[in-house]
Each structure stands twice: as C-alpha cells, then as structure tokens.
Structure 1
C-alpha cells in the first residue's frame, strides 16, 4: 500500500460515494438484499452478495441475477427490497465516524455520487444529518444511462460541478466504484472504514482495481488530500 496519488493537475473537487463511505449502510442494505434474494430462490450468502453486488444499483444487480443465475425477480421485488431497506435505515443507520468533522475541514468543493436511487440517497443523508452539508450537490446513478462500473455518473457529477475529470478525487469503497472512477480519468482512493469490511481493512481488491491507496478513518482524509 502506498499513500502516493499519481501526479496530476491540482485537485479541485472531491467526489464521495455514499453507501459505505459517508454512511455505514452496507451491512444493513446487503443483509436486506440477501434475505430478499434468498426469498426468490437464489441460494447466496451475505459474503457472496457483498463480493458480487456492493456498490452497484438495484437495476444492475437484478440484471446480473437474471443473466448469471437465471433468477427472474417477481413484480414488485425491487420496490419491496428498497422499502425494507429504508425501514431498517430508520432504526439502524448511522453516519460514518468522523465524516461530518472531515467535511467541515475540507478546503475543496465536494459532492456525492451514488448508485442509490434518489429517494434512498437523500433519505439516507437526511437520517444521518449529512444532507445539509451537501445541499444540491447530490447525484444518483438514476440520472445517467449507465451505473458503476461505467464512468457516466462520475463524469456527470464533475460536469455539473464544473470541474475537469483529471482534477477530481473520488472516495470509494467498492470495486465497481473504483473502476468507474478510473474509467472517468479521475484519481481514486479506497475507503475501508465501513462495517461491511469486518476485520480485514487492507482493501486489496480496491487496490487491485486501481485505487491509489486505501484508508479506514475519515480523520486521515486531510493526509490523503495533501498527497494529491
């Protein structure tokens, strides 16, 4: 692991993924998704769901399940999983430790670009008290043609923020997210502070996908930015 971010023009924008980076939602949402997939006949455990689907949209997940597993979701399945996830969020969701303080110290513009649908995204940020920190700088994969690992969402966010891709730094916790950032021509670092990482915070798969480094506490964000 190295702390060096490849030399390039000065950073002008930090783009945060949401789930697993800003909010500790992945243990909740992945568990809900696993139960739902089991209920429609897909024999899969939580670890496999995390490995295959973390960081991707429900649309992409169900397309893969149909293509790779031959399981077609019944009508209303996606909406039911989304509703159950939001219900669980109401009771359990928390912001990632130290993120509000880290955002308050940022000397660069920042935004969020997430695979979550707009309703879940804004609700999640609202429940954790983070939404006022982002205001209208909240972008969802529902606003683009293709979700992660394609670059569309990050390029859309950069365009809306008026910043060239090469001057953006993306903070991601998933392999599709890292791949999307790299495909967009952006610098990217991996975050491994979420509860879904368990005891292994090395982020080997994020580094293998192209993250310049990984970090597991938002208190380190200043150091990460200084390296860029």
Structure 2
C-alpha cells in the first residue's frame, strides 16, 4: 500500500525547496553544539574575560542559537568570542575553530547522525509531487552527514561549505548560499522556499527574496519561535512532518 500524503497549503505556489542541513535534515546540531562547547569552554578557562559576568560557560542552546548556528566556523567562533569581550585576532579565531572541527569530526565518525523522520517524510512528499529539492549548508561535512543518515539521494542538489568556499560565497545572514542552491535547481528565489532552524538562516532566506521561509524550532527555548519570526520566518514549526497532510493508505 502507498500513502496519499500531500503537502500543506503553504507549498501551493512553491516550485522548489532549499533545506538547511544541521538541525533541519539531520540531528547534527547537537553534535556541533557539544563540540563548540568543549572548544569555547577550554578557551574561556585559558583566557577568562575581564568582566566576571562574561566568564560563564558556553550555553548549548542560547549561545549556540545566538552566535554560531548557521554560520561558518570562523564567523561563529569570532562572533562568540566578541560577545564575551575577548580579542579576536585571526590566529585565535582559527585555533578555536580548528579545535571545534577536530572535536566534531571525532564525534561524527564515532557516533554518526540520524535524519529527522518528519523531514524525511516531507522531502519524500515533495519528491512525489515533482518539486525539486536542495540541501545547503555552511559545513564542509554536509555531504558526509547526509550520506551517513541515508538521505543524500533524496536531494537533487547539494551546496556545502566546500562549494561555498570555492565560489567565494559569503556566509549567512547573506543569502548567497541559498540563492546558489536555487539557481542549480533552476528555480528563481521568488518561486522557492527555504527551510532553516538558525536565526542567521531565516534572515538569509528573507534577504534572498524567497517566496516562503520556514523556521524550525527544535530548541525548547521559550522565545525561539518569536525570534525566528522576527528574523524573517513566515511560519515556524517544531517538526517538518507538520507540513504534510496525512492521507489514508490506498
């Protein structure tokens, strides 16, 4: 038997969908956050801010969402260190980012990641409806993440951090990464949707002129939904399965 699942009405005028990877397709944001915490906390212990109020450890929810989620490693490292009143010479930023990269890679290789079932359901429904799909990420690990989660073949296009670097695309909240993904799908931004869980990401979708910007809130932080809406999301869901209308088997 096959499912009669259909797309929610928000997709009525959408001709392509661009998905962020970490925290949207794969449950990898928690691995990134844990790696950032270890790297940042070690740096804070070695170089404590002058202001005692800024010496608190990295918070895997609030600090991650505010400063690093959706950004390149270098941009995220610099943003958090500046927020704690620390100097951000290039060599320091690169050292912290490299420490995070090492930690993330170790955890990824040891434990892998899973794809969110609700996202997989939505992507498969989009595919059955003939709507092309792209995965876009500032991470160079995006392809490996999707392959390990068993969902790489569900996407027509992948634009990852390696491609962004090769093309000189600026990071979020600039929309260039998403615009490149839409271009490769052959659909202009005003006819496409972006799906994001990061504040910088939904802002990028709005700046890019996408027809629909969908925010995903998996944080459990009380004001995250409102923050995503303020940064440019048209709607916010807790799980992308909410955007599929369940049908009866046939």
Map of 2:171 onto structure 1: 147
Counterparts of 1:11 and 1:180, CA distance in 2: 18
2:204 is aligned with 1:191: no
Q: 1:89 aligns with which of 108, 121, 133?
A: 108
Aligned residues: 213
Asked if 1 retains the 8 angstrom alpha-carbon contact of 2:175 and 2:204, the reply is yes
Asked if 2 retains the 8 angstrom alpha-carbon contact of 1:10 and 1:167, the reply is yes
Asked if 1 retains the 8 angstrom alpha-carbon contact of 2:67 and 2:79, the reply is no
Query: How far off is 1:19 after superposition?
Result: 0.5
Asked if 1 retains the 8 angstrom alpha-carbon contact of 2:213 and 2:233, the reply is yes
- Within 5 Å, which residues of 2 pair with 1:53-72? 53-65=68-80, 67-68=82-83, 69-72=86-89
Q: Deviations along 1:178-208, whole A, 9 cap, x unmatched?
A: 110111001201112x3xx036486111011
Relative to the length of structure 2, the TM-score reads 0.76
Counterparts of 2:209 and 2:115, CA distance in 1: 29
Map of 2:33 onto structure 1: 30
2:42 is aligned with 1:39: yes
Compute the RMSD of aligned alpha carbons: 2.6
Asked if 2 retains the 8 angstrom alpha-carbon contact of 1:23 and 1:95, the reply is yes
Unpaired runs of at least 5, structure 1 = 224-228
Map of 1:226 onto structure 2: none
Map of 1:177 onto structure 2: 201
Counterparts of 2:152 and 2:223, CA distance in 1: 27
2:121 is aligned with 1:101: yes
Map of 1:122 onto structure 2: 143
Asked if 2 retains the 8 angstrom alpha-carbon contact of 1:155 and 1:165, the reply is yes
Say which SS state the counterpart of residue 153 (structure 2) adopts.
helix
Asked if 1 retains the 8 angstrom alpha-carbon contact of 2:37 and 2:58, the reply is yes
After superposition, the Cα gap between the structure-2 partners of 1:122 and 1:201, relative to the gap in structure 1 and judged at 3 Å, is: farther
Asked if 2 retains the 8 angstrom alpha-carbon contact of 1:30 and 1:50, the reply is no
Relative to the length of structure 1, the TM-score reads 0.82
The structure having more radius of gyration, on CA atoms, is: 2
